[in-house]
Amino acid sequence: MKKIGFIGLGIMGASMAGHLIDAGYKLSVYNRTKSKADELLARGATWCDTPAECAKDQDVVITMVGYPQDVEAIYFGENGIIDSLHEGEYIIDMTTSSPILAEQLYDAAIKRGAHSLDAPVTGGDAGARDATLTILVGGDEADYEKMKPLFSVIGKNIVYEGKAGAGQKTKACNQIAIAGTLAGVCEAFAYAKASGLEIQNVYDAISKGAASSFQMTGVVRKGLEGDFNPGFMLKHFIKDMHIGDDTGKRYGIDMPVLKQVMREAEMLEADGNGTKGTQVMLKYYDSSF
């Protein structure tokens, strides 16, 4: 399978698409802002004017967009993907989106004799750039096996999670775990600063012990250095937390830690921090960071 339509060329999508070109896949691309495709077009990708055009006559269509409403629009809206699917074609949504929507995409694909996988990723911009993403896959296991060589071009830890929607549910688990960890790390350094400790000394000590985590060494560390550029935007993390909270209600589970972190993040977003990296959570606990 060599012909791929790729939709969504943001911080992560552009890198992922580039790896597929490097691996010899013939790529057609669509993005709401065409200029974001310029580098890929210079490397041989073909521009498409609509999601439907990008999906037409492809072996695989990959989507990597922002929000569940974006996924719904590009698949089911006017000039959407579903109406362009042919028998045997694969759709792979790699957006962090709703498990319920993933199930709907699967059902719509099956009705057209096509295949559907939900395959959200973790690893941020660095993982996309270095092709080391973790890919969490839901759908039919035979389809997962068929697409595994493609996944291996853009990720390293590729895990089959179960039937349609299972990839999105697993991604929700990941983001729920991150929420508490990120908040805990930020609280720790706010405490260190307030108590008069030398921040670098504290970091050197606790980042190498039981308290260490990627949120500390890969995310919050940047904020401690004054770098709030996004590897993963706060507004997208808020979206992910809402997905976890909303589906948690469906499954009858209450998650007070997630809710608290979500409220904190939304307060920061309201103050204009939505496009900064998640390390900006430091500023909730101490605005002087």
Q: What is the DSSP letter of 233?
A: B
Selecting among 56, 169, 171, 222, the annotated active-site residue is 171
Structure tokens at 32: 């709401």
> How far is 22 from 13, CA to CA, in rounded Å?
14
Q: Is 56 one of the catalytic residues?
A: no
Helix (H) or strand (E) holding 29: strand 26-30
**136, 152, 135, 147: which is closest to 22 by C-alpha?**
152
Smallest CA-to-CA distance from 216 within 174, 178, 260, 164 is with 178
The residue count for the chain:
289
Distances (CA, A) of 132 to 15, 30, 38, 152, 187: 11, 24, 24, 9, 29
Cα(37)–Cα(39) distance, integer angstroms? 6
Cβ-based neighbours of 262, under 8 Å, separated by 6 or more:
179, 238, 241, 242, 245
Q: Catalytic residue positions?
A: 171
